[in-house]
Amino acid sequence: MNAAERDELCYLSATEVVALVRGRELSPVELLDAVLDRMREVEPTLHAFCTPTPDLARAQANRLADAVVRGEPVGPLAGVPMGIKDLLSTAGIRTTSGSWIYRDFIPDADDIVVERSLAAGAICLGKTNTSEFGYSATGQNRLFPTTRNPWNPALSPGGSSAGSAAAVAAGLGPVALGSDGGCSVRIPAALCGLVGFKPSMGRVPVYPGCRDERLPGVSGWESIEHIGPISRTVADAALMLSVLAGPDQRDRHSIPCQDIDWIAAAHRGRQEAVTGLRIGYSPDFGYLPVDPAVRRVVDRAVTNVLGNQLGCHIEQVDPGWPDPGAAYAALIVAETDLTGMRRLIAEHGKHLSPYLVGWMGADWTAQDFTDANIMRKTVVNAMARLMTRFDVLITPTSAVPAFPVDRLGPTEIDGRSVTNSTWIGFNYPANLTGQPAISIPAGRTADGLPVGLQIIGRHLDDATVLRLAAAFESVAPWSQVRPRVSSPELDGA
């Protein structure tokens, strides 16, 4: 098999892989061999995987291949190679959460989503890199090499599901598991030209992540954390949700999902299914600076694709809530084991990310936390009023395209000085409200960098989000546009 044939296998969608494996037209072992070969080629540049598991993957693929030959039924993810974010627990496999503190930690149980994915026949390629405890929207930590963007390895892939997005964009599995406490599925999807879906709060159960009181740093974000897929197509995101979604008694926030057929929602994404949808388009939320290149791409996508081609009714809106950035930060800290984290910082602070130490060491007060809860209610109520007028809310996903890999974010956007977190400001309102939100590719800048468009749905209306995303994809497809991963001389690589 030459490199071109190998790469065609590596870029099969998950939906295609399952059909070919079930039809005995593709061996899961053959596909895995292709993906592992490509990993050997691109991983020295990208650093998407912090703990690869090729031996485990081969054992899983061999067992599945034998089952297919024997004519046994196989699961809905049969043969799909998949990366698992290093914030998600994997029994018997090192799970560091991107932190030196947990550098040798091996969980005794799988996260629910890992358990369900593997039971459905997915093949575990390994753990994908993340920022420390998910506390930044990049792929930097002090334990592993920084993850790089396949479109340009000098740039960041976003985060904190950095390795998951870099892997999928580079052809190292058609899907990967990510988590999103404020942007961490959608931002890397946007910067890497992928689909990143944060389903409604409770659709996908979370455990032990966020809820294991024994693990300071890991046991946080409970009321804002979501787990979702990163993929190259909307259909693959829906396929993943058909496996991941559904209640579990270990997650008190998890909810029934009988109201939605995930796969049907994505496959009904034709023009006639979305014509007439009422779309509120907010290009800046009334307070966010946006890179002009991003604004041009998203404006064009909204007007030409959603409006002209799909026949949606577009109205530009200002949602009407104040910037909740400071409140969002306070909520994160309020849900953290602050006592445990400060103890660990006192013991190991020199090994931890400076921004994390700063967050944990700040002089937080009870009033900061109660003010943050009031701001959350302000956003939730304003969003509810807004969504009585619209079926979905559209925004850019990231306020900027990918930026240099050694930064936590831009310090200036469109001539305005900003904090490192301003650029993710379109994302965390949907975590505060728990609404479904997806990032899909809207196009690329003049220099070829991906730009994401975010679709936020009404409360629990995941189906409309998927349907509109699939309709957009059907008239402006992106899955065949692939980065050419190069290996330039990289400073400090």
Catalytic residue among 184, 219, 231, 353: 184
* 131 contacts 146 by C-beta, under 8 angstroms: no
Q: Would residue 160 show up in a list of annotated catalytic residues for this protein?
A: yes
Q: Are 128 and 95 in contact (CB under 8 A)?
A: no
Query: Which residue in the list 85, 156, 200, 421 is annotated as catalytic?
Result: 85
Measured CA to CA, the distance from residue 90 to residue 96 in angstroms comes to 10
Out of 27, 97, 99, 160, pick the active-site residue.
160
184 is catalytic: yes
Classified as helix, coil or strand, 33 is helix
Helix (H) or strand (E) holding 302: none
Kind of pairing between the strands at 313-316 and 392-396: unpaired
CB-based contact 251:211 (threshold 8 Å): yes
Q: Are 124 and 57 in contact (CB under 8 A)?
A: yes
User: How far is it, in rounded angstroms, from Cα 37 to Cα 360?
Assistant: 42
CA atoms within 13 A on the CB side of 471: 28
Question: Which tokens hold the place of 340?
Answer: 């445990």
Q: Does the annotation mark 282 as catalytic?
A: no
Q: Which amino acid is at 483?
A: P
- CA dist 458 and 285 (Å) reads 17
CA 476 to chain CA mean position, Å:
21
Tokens of 362: 């700040």
**In 71-179, where does DSSP find H-type helix?**
112-119, 162-169
> Phi, psi (5° rounding) for residue 264?
-65, -40
Annotated catalytic sites, by residue? 85, 160, 184
